[in-house]
Structure 1
Amino acid sequence: MTIDELRQEIDRIDSELLRIFNRRAELALEIGMIKKERALPVYDPKREKKIFERMQADNPGPLDDGAIVRLFERVIDESRRLERIMTHREATAGKEEQ
């Protein structure tokens, strides 16, 4: 393959990652709403540990396990941040309605 063809493939993969990241964020927000209803904490270290362990076990490379954990830490951090933002917005909107 040429460099241009390889870059086009990377662009296709990047678009797919974008779709997947946003779908994952939607699901995380749904979980966040359930956690809020049940008064559960946003941060669940046991769940995160399971994710990291599963991703390392499934990792075929060439990225090493440390890289995989760092990537998933970032994805999870952003999901958690989004949950907090949405929770804050809902709380603020609720106060404005009173």
Structure 2
Amino acid sequence: MTENTDTDSIQNMTLDELREEIEDIDRGIVELIARRTYVADAVAQVKAEKGLPTTDESQEERVMERAGDNADHFEVDSNLVKAIFRLLIEINKAEQRQSR
């Protein structure tokens, strides 16, 4: 589908259909967060095995830059996306510290 077709079809949806669409999207977001957390846990295990520190500021900077680039690509507020990613990173770091 083209972007215009997506926009047109969304504009023709009822309120209940729109809410159902948001519910499906929310479910997908939670699934992706769960996948990201699982992989971050694996990263934490590798760091622990190799005696590496929990925090890697250069990697965090790369993640934030990538988040900003993706936000720009999808025309979403970059500050909002970066705030979400900062929260995800902080949660993962807290979990890594607790597991050590």
TM-score normalised by L of structure 1: 0.81
Structure 1 residue runs of 5 or longer lacking an equivalent are: 88-98
Partner of 1:45: 57
* 1:86 CA displacement: 2.1
| Matched AA of 1:29 | D
Partner of 1:85: 98
Partner of 2:5: none
Give the paired residue count.
Answer: 86
Q: Which of the residues 50, 60, 66 maps onto 2:79?
A: 66
* 1:36 CA displacement: 0.7
Structure 2: how far apart are the matches of 1:39 and 1:54? 27
After the TM superposition, which segments of 4 or more aligned residues of structure 1 sit over 6 Å from their partners? none
Whether 1:25 and 2:37 are equivalent positions in the alignment is: yes
Partner of 1:6: 18
Structure 2 residue runs of 5 or longer lacking an equivalent are: 1-12
* 1:10 CA displacement: 0.8
Secondary structure, in 3 states, of the residue corresponding to 2:98? helix
| Matched AA of 1:6 | L
* 1:58 CA displacement: 2.0
Higher relative contact order (CA 8 A, sep 6+): 1
* 1:85 CA displacement: 2.1
Q: Percent identity?
A: 29
Secondary structure, in 3 states, of the residue corresponding to 1:43? coil
> What do residues 50-69 of structure 1 show as CA deviations (whole Å, max 9, x unaligned)?
111112112222x3111111
